[in-house]
Chains A and B, each alone.
Chain A
Amino acid sequence: MSLLLRGGRVVDPANGLDAVQDVLIGDGRIARVGPALKAPEGTRVLDVAGKVVCPGFIDIHVHLREPGLEYKETIASGTRAAAAGGFTALACMANTAPVNDNRAVTDYILAKARVEGAVRVYPIGAVTRGLKGETLSEMAELAEGGCVAFSDDGKCVMNAEVYRRAMEYALPFGTPIISHAEDCHLARAGSMNEGLVSTELGLSGQPAAAEDVMVARDILLAELTGAHVHIAHISTAGAVRLVREARARGIRITAEVTPHHLVLSDEAVRDYDPNMKMAPPLRGKRDVEALLEALADGTIECIATDHAPHALSDKEGEFAEAANGVVGLETAVPVLLDRLVRAGRLDLPTLVARFTTGPARLLNLPGGSLAAGAPADITVLDLERSWTVEPGRFLSRSRNTPFGGWTGQGGPVLTLVGGVPALPGRQPLAVPGAGT
């Protein structure tokens, strides 16, 4: 079974390509990319003229909530949300119940994902048992089982000695350590960014320094151990500066940024809407500017959603009491296509790179490229398509988005995983029957 995507603008940063070409897919892999390709006998042809054909987008920071918190999200619902949002692969964080700190949980996630997953799922193992920050999880077995990175995300490993040993122990596996950089003492119970807005709202704030000091520590530990340390959801101008300097010195430090930190500031908290509450919190306008600049210049190589689904009961009450986190899989690509690319703040190939080559490189994943022979994971975008964010129509089980009611233009219209539509019949360009 083969498929030809005819006449689209192919944006493939991994191969330096941005041109109108055809993409031929056979046996679940990219067969060829080139101008005016001939379709072999029996090939299904899909006209994608006017659309943008990219390597499949990868989100390396997702909370799938299964096992244990299925009332928020499941592997089935989370991966369908990912596919609807244009992602062909995701990495899922370890803070499930039980925690993914042992091989049995990793096996469970992968087995479930094989049967029910709409996109590829790469588990991330816990750094410490039970995310307690005390003893190392069985990282060798986790890596053998398929964990592509280690992280206690949601919590910061406060003990620098424990963290140092984790970095060293993981060196042979070639897996990065992903840091949730937040000094819990400095952050205290701060439910938003510390600044004028927190003062006016009377909400306890956490200073940007709560993130910065931990990023500084993790840079020093990366230098000490030689480990690859990846900063999750970087959110401050200070942390960006530290990462930029450290990278210039050759330290193996990388960073990701979320869509919400790129387009929202702490001003958005003024209505006490718990959907504006997450960790790290929405920061000041200067931080937002610094993040965008770092995304453009490559200091930040990757956009990741930190998709953190919560049921309404966890999110509807008092701001200070509400759970941290927002969903992001179904809004990331459209929101950034409109607010960054369409607004002229970032060019399309760079945005695509931050969703493809960046994440693939950081976690050593096979995707992110349309090279011949690569898995045919493909995201097709329509830059003209108008949208309105309607949380009630999400495929995610949760609705906690900060973008409800937003309108814009540009979004994914087809997600192919291994050459096959991830959501047959649901997306505007989906091709029922193709590949089946």
Chain B
Amino acid sequence: MAWKRKDLLSMQGLEAGEIRDMLDTAESMKEIASREIKKVPTLRGKTVVNLFYEASTRTRTSFEIAGKWLSADVINFSASGSSADKGESLLDTAKNIEAMSPDVVVVRHKASGAPALLARNLRCAVVNAGDGAHEHPTQALLDLLTIQEKKGHLEGLNVTIVGDVMHSRVARSAIHGMKTMGMTVTVAGPPTLIPPACQELGVKVSHRLDEAIAHADVIMMLRLQHERMQAGLIPSVREYSRVWGLGLDKLEHCRPDVLIMHPGPVNRGVELSPEVADGPYSVILDQVANGVAVRMAVLYLLAGSKAA
């Protein structure tokens, strides 16, 4: 099926066929990364603006590389050192950027809904590269691509997402994408880090790590922000790490072919022990590599496929 949407704002609402289309396109993009000259002319003459209001190394770099390998002109606009520091509103900044005629604006913002606001007001395509605690759709797509590569399929797999689901856009996008692809999702963490009404998203909720990961094909560990302790949601990082951190000992009762994923950056020794992060179960670096392929697919489908 052909991609018809102007923007990519969320996994919620995407149909299985659309996700399938993205993954297939990303699959075909992976070949480019293996070439000696990693450049195709697909998006020559197209402009991609990376509009990042929040610090991000890997996502911004990933979009930048993706754009450059497709021969797009990629401009990075970060909030520091820009007009955003001078009090210009998000909408004003966006309209100014639009006046320079970009084809795609990739936005990362601390406010949930900021990409939707831009999408309503800009004629060009808008890609959500993470908004507040709402969604991070390209992360979910690269997670799905990684799982599919390792497992050969998606439908019927059990995925357990562990940690600060409450504040995680990665978790929300993953939940929607995985449910749509026929996977079973369990979220696990202390009740203070599980969002209200979470079951209504169609996931199982567990407050015991051993129980939650026992039958998992995939375990996705989330990053714990130290702010959560200041907000009174957990008593201490030490206790969190002991109860919810994943070490080799806790993996003993898991499936032998379990995959360990993490959206990064990893708090080593907090949610993941170094042995697990660097161990045989970990596919964390595959996720990063697939991130470039997925973002190439997204840029191509949003900016290139119509013109081509």
Contacts and interface: CB of A to CB of B under 8 A. Distances in A.
Interface string A309-329: 000010011111100000000
A196 to B, nearest CB: 4
Contact of A317 (B116, B117, B196): B117
B102 interface: no
A130 interface: no
Interface stretch (B130-138, B211-219, B249-257): B130-138
Nearest to B231: A188
Given A202-B169, A203-B113, A316 B131 contact: no
A204 interface: yes
Given A317-B90, A318-B90, A318-B111, A198 B196 contact: yes
Nearest to A204: B133
Contacts of A204: 133
A272 B200 CA distance: 20
Nearest to B171: A202
A272 B113 contact: yes
B112 interface: yes
B42 interface: no
A224 interface: no
Interface size class of A (residues with CB under 8 A): 20 to 34
Given A271-B116, A317-B90, A199 B111 contact: no
Contacts of B12: 200
Interface in A115-166: none
A104 interface: no
A320 B172 CA distance: 18
B112 A201 contact: yes
Contacts of A199: 172, 195-198, 200-201
Contacts of B197: 195-196, 199
Interface string B171-189: 0100000000000000000
Contacts of A316: 89, 91
B112 A202 contact: yes
A203 B200 contact: no
Interface string B111-124: 11110110000000
A202 B132 contact: yes
Interface residues of B, number: 24
Contacts of B133: 202-204
A287 to B, nearest CB: 14
Contacts, number: 65
A428 B200 CA distance: 49
Nearest to A193: B196
A317 B132 contact: no
A194 interface: yes
A280 interface: no
Given A201-B134, A202-B134, A320 B200 contact: no
A205 interface: yes
A319 B112 contact: yes
Contacts of B223: none
B201 A320 contact: no
A196 B91 CA distance: 28
Nearest to B112: A202
B196 A318 contact: no
B113 A196 contact: no
Contacts of B196: 194-196, 198-199, 205, 207
B283 to A, nearest CB: 26
Contacts of B91: 316-317
Nearest to B121: A316
Contacts of B112: 201-203, 272, 319-320
Nearest to A195: B197
A319 B201 contact: no
B68 interface: no
Nearest to B173: A202
B160 to A, nearest CB: 18
A279 B120 CA distance: 25
B262 interface: no
B60 interface: no
Interface centre among B90, B135, B195, B201 (most CB of A within 10 A): B195
B254 to A, nearest CB: 28
A202 B113 CA distance: 8
13 contacts: A196-B197, A196-B201, A199-B172, A199-B195, A201-B112, A202-B134, A202-B172, A203-B112, A203-B132, A317-B90, A317-B117, A318-B111, A321-B111
Given A198-B196, A202-B172, 15 more contacts: A198-B195, A199-B196, A200-B12, A200-B172, A201-B112, A203-B132, A204-B133, A205-B196, A272-B112, A316-B89, A317-B117, A318-B113, A318-B117, A319-B111, A320-B112
Give 10 nearest A-B pairs by CB, closest first: A202-B134, A272-B113, A318-B111, A202-B133, A196-B197, A202-B112, A199-B195, A196-B200, A319-B113, A202-B132
